[in-house]
Amino acid sequence: MQPNLHVIDIQPRTVEQLIPVRWNGEFVFTNSSFVENQI
């Protein structure tokens, strides 16, 4: 069973710069600036 994948804050970036994080029980791919804003 695959987790739901979402991509937040779409901007010209490479996949390596996207960080998979668990958010609301789902895996969310985001960038470091988004993660820092959530902390």
For residue 7, pLDDT over 70 is answered with no
Domains in the chain: how many in total?
A: 1
Quote the pLDDT of residue 30: 72
**Domain assignment of residue 22, given as a range:** 5-38
pTM of the model: 0.28
Write the pLDDT tens digit of every residue in 9-31. Answer: 556 555 566 677 777 777 777 76
Residues 6 or more apart from 4 whose CB is under 8 A from it? Answer: 26, 27
Quote the pLDDT of residue 16: 61
Give whole-number Cα distances, 11 to 7, 23, 32, in Å: 10, 20, 13
* Phi, psi angles (nearest 5°) of residue 23: -140, 120
For residue 1, pLDDT over 60 is answered with no
Quote the pLDDT of residue 23: 72
* Strand ranges for the chain from DSSP E: 5-7, 19-23, 26-30
* Phi, psi angles (nearest 5°) of residue 37: -70, -25
Quote the pLDDT of residue 31: 67
